[in-house]
Amino acid sequence: MPDDLFFDQTVPDVHQPYVAAPDRYTHLGYRRVGDSGLLLPPISLGLWWNFGDNRPFDLQREVLRFAFDQGITHFDLANNYGPPHGAAEENFGRVLRTDFRPYRNELIVSTKAGWPQWPGPYGDFGSAKYLRASLDESLARLQTDYVDVFYSHRVDSSTPIEETIGALDAAVRQGKALYVGISSYSAERTERAIAVARELHTPLVIHQPAYSLLNRWVEHGLLDVLGRSGLGAIAFTPLAQGLLTNRCLQQGQVHASGGRTTLSDADLTAENLERLQRLADVATRRGQTLAQLAIAWLLHNDRVTSVLLGASTVQQLAENLQAVHNTGFTEAELAEIDEITAADAGVNIWAQSSDL
Nearest to 96 by CA among 28, 131, 146, 21: 146
DSSP 23: T
Three-class SS state of 162: helix
Domain harbouring 215, CATH code: 3.20.20.100
pLDDT value of position 260: 41
Q: Please report, for residues 186, 216, 238, the alpha-carbon distance to residue 223 in angstroms, rounded to integers and kept in the order given.
A: 10, 10, 16
At 259 the pLDDT is: 44
Q: What is the pLDDT of residue 246?
A: 86
Task: Residue 335: count other Cβ atoms within 10 Å of its Cβ.
Answer: 11
Average pLDDT, integer, range 119-131: 97
Instruction: Specify if 247 maps to a domain.
Output: no
Enter the pTM of the model: 0.92
Q: pLDDT > 90: what percent of the chain?
A: 83
What is the domain count for the chain?
1
Q: What is the pLDDT of residue 2?
A: 41
The values of phi and psi at residue 335, to 5°, are -65, -40
Question: Could you tell me if residue 325 is inside a domain?
Answer: yes
Residue-range definition of the domain harbouring residue 54: 29-240+298-329
Residue 270 lies in a domain: no
Residue 7 lies in a domain: no
Confidence of residue 3 (pLDDT cuts 50, 70, 90): very low
